[in-house]
Amino acid sequence: MNITVEMVKTLRNKTNAGMMECKEALKAADGDFEKAVDYLRKKGMSAATKRSSKAAKDGTIAHYIHMGGKIGVLVELNCETDFVAKTEAFQTMARDLAMHVAASNPLYVRPQEISADALEREKEIYKSQLLTEKKPEKIWDKIIEGKLRKYYEEVCLLQQKFIKNTDITVETLVNEMIAKTGENIIVRRFARFQLGEEIKS
């Protein structure tokens, strides 16, 4: 695929990585921006990776109320300084994330939060399906890996497509803000309440 200067510039603006590194990442990812960002993160070249060791102890708690009080969400979004926390862009993103949680109903922030037991249950379900479908056992691992990726996209906030721009994930949205502000930004946690839903003991 032909990698254009514009494509390289767009990736550079997203990640703050060098021009040559961005070009290399886009080539490796066949022009796919999401994969190129992942490629840079794995190599430790993106701004998100560089900032991840910085303490994010400031930030804001945003809320969103939907359907006339039927659904309510709180989201804690952290950054490094009070200066960034008070910017309109940061506050807007926090509110957008709360609205996203209301609409998409994720169960976790990131895949690492899913318990080993829950993952094992998912894998057992997939194995039963593959057995029923009579798929060759030698390809099970690859299929299960793909199904788990899909599962993460459904239940993990950062892996979900952002409702206001489905071309990107929530994680990409956060990484773009990291690149713009030069600060480490973390979605710490969220709580979603739906009127009348069953309370788990």
- Give tens-digit pLDDT for 29-77: 888 888 888 887 776 555 565 555 566 789 999 999 987 889 999 999 9
Asked which of 22-26, 52-56, 152-156 is least confident by mean pLDDT, the reply is 52-56
Ranges assigned E (strand) in the chain: 58-66, 71-79, 161-162, 165-169, 186-194
3-state DSSP percent of the chain in helix, strand and coil, to 5: 55, 20, 25
Residue 124's CB is within 10 A of a number of other CB atoms, namely 10
Q: Using one digit for the tens of pLDDT, what is the confidence trace for 107-131?
A: 999 999 999 999 999 999 998 998 8
Residue 85 has pLDDT above 60, yes or no: yes
Q: Does the pLDDT at position 201 exceed 70?
A: no
Specify the 3-state DSSP secondary structure of 185.
coil
Average pLDDT over residues 20-30: 86
What is the predicted pLDDT for the residue at 197?
A: 76
**What percentage of the chain has pLDDT greater than the value 70?**
90
pLDDT of residue 39: 83
pLDDT of 15 above 60: yes
Task: Find the mean pLDDT for residues 167-179.
Answer: 92
Domains of the chain listed by start with CATH number: 5-51 (1.10.8.10), 58-110+156-194 (3.30.479.20), 115-154 (1.10.286)
- Using CA atoms, how far apart are residues 178 and 53, in angstroms rounded to an integer? 13
pTM of the model: 0.70
What local confidence, expressed as pLDDT, does residue 16 receive?
A: 65
CB 60 within 8 Å of CB 85: yes
Task: Share the mean pLDDT of the chain.
Answer: 87
- The rounded percent of the chain whose pLDDT value lies above 90 is 52
Q: Which residues contact 168 (CB under 8 A, 6 or more apart)?
A: 34, 161, 162, 176
